[in-house]
Amino acid sequence: MKVPDYLSEIPFFARSSRLPATLPTPEAIESCNRVIKEGYGRRIIQFGQHFIVKHGTRVSVMEGQNLLYVKKTEAVPIPEVYALYTKINLDGRLATYIIMEYIPGKTLEAAWPNLSFHEKHGVALQLQEHFKQLRKVPAPGYFGCFGNPPCEDSVFWTLPCDDAAQNAPLSRSSRTEHEFNQGLVEVYLENEGSEQIAEIYECMFSEVLKNHRAVLTHADLQKNNIILKEDKSLVVIDWEAAGWWPEYWEYSAATLAAEFSDDFLIYLTTTALDEYPSECAWLNPMIRELWRGQRSYNLEVKKEVSAYEFCSRKPNAEWLYDLST
């Protein structure tokens, strides 16, 4: 395994010897009507038999750079990026174009209901091996995005790219897990979170979110981000949120995003991923609040528990239940 020490510069174009066909032009991409998904400034199309193109004003350059970065590690099969560039569109706005390898198959979202028990178990074992290989890639010594740019994941708060962004929470990598935890609490406060709740999070994060390695993490493992090929092999796509995150982050993000409408989460958490229920139980409520815009919890004044008293106790299931009700 090897770890890249830099992000690929843009514009990026793969060598012609690696191309399965001539790259489509921006004009051809814009006029293509084989739309897979569209909305919110993003459009995903299949162009011909060889290319998937993600483009739009809300498409992140970082997603393409992350794919190129992970590809260099040679850890797991992922789509190859053939081109990554930006261009001013007809509205005068900057749009990003990511031209990728088309992976034939179905998303696990579409395939899962028709899989047998043994096939589902096989999927979980494959994912387990994929993430085992990812974890073998040596980390560069920080928690954060690949190459150390500002964190773009929706979990994190960042300012526009000006001088002030250098002082924003998690605008750069964290050297230690404690520093990373402090950044999470600052994110919460910057989004108008309750100072009292922030104090609780700070205390409990120092108790629960500790002694974890930074590992190569996908950070958005959902059924619609996994392609099941005809030969039953898997390819994980959509690496926009990837980075060097604490080793519990994959489990936490997957359980947060999962729908409880089927048994996928059971296979994911009991076979595919290492389990971190305590870390998940404390991190995910804060992230849910950030996502939903809920800025304060009802602490139930009748309990009259101060932050200091709270932090002097060990977390347990009863406390977690009380906090969530």
Query: Are residues 134 and 28 located together in one domain of the fold?
Result: no
Q: What is the mean pLDDT of residues 188-194?
A: 84
pLDDT at 154 over 70: no
Q: What is the mean pLDDT of residues 124-145?
A: 94
Residues sharing a CB contact under 8 Å with residue 164, sequence separation 6 or more, in sequence order: none
CA 13 to chain centre: 25
| pLDDT tens-place string over residues 195-232 | 999 999 999 999 999 999 999 999 999 999 999 999 99
| Model confidence band, residue 170 (pLDDT cutoffs 50, 70, 90) | low
Query: Are residues 115 and 218 located together in one domain of the fold?
Result: yes
Query: Are residues 120 and 201 located together in one domain of the fold?
Result: yes
**Considering 78, 102, 126, which residue would you say is the last residue of a domain?**
102
Helix (H) or strand (E) holding 322: helix 317-324
CATH number for 93: 3.30.200
CATH number for 185: 3.90.1200
Query: Are residues 118 and 55 located together in one domain of the fold?
Result: no
* Structural domain count of the chain: 2
Residue 4 lies in a domain: no
Query: Are residues 85 and 166 located together in one domain of the fold?
Result: no
Query: Are residues 194 and 170 located together in one domain of the fold?
Result: yes
Query: Are residues 30 and 124 located together in one domain of the fold?
Result: no
Query: Are residues 95 and 142 located together in one domain of the fold?
Result: no
pLDDT at site 191? 80
Residue 2 lies in a domain: no
pLDDT at site 297? 35
Query: Are residues 119 and 233 located together in one domain of the fold?
Result: yes
Domain with 89 in it: 12-102
Query: Are residues 97 and 229 located together in one domain of the fold?
Result: no
Residue 197 lies in a domain: yes
pLDDT at site 41? 93
Residue 152 lies in a domain: yes
Query: Are residues 97 and 157 located together in one domain of the fold?
Result: no
Where is mean pLDDT largest: 128-137, 141-150, 187-196, 302-311? 128-137
Q: What own/partner pairs with CB < 8 Å and gap ≥ 24 does 108-111 have? A: 108/223, 108/224, 108/226, 108/227, 108/228, 108/234, 108/264, 109/222, 109/223, 109/224, 111/228
**Considering 48, 77, 102, which residue would you say is the last residue of a domain?**
102
| Model confidence band, residue 149 (pLDDT cutoffs 50, 70, 90) | confident
pLDDT at site 316? 45
Of 12-26, 83-97, 197-211, 289-303, the range with the lowest mean pLDDT is: 289-303
Residue 7 lies in a domain: no
Query: Are residues 52 and 70 located together in one domain of the fold?
Result: yes
The helix/strand/coil state of 161 is coil
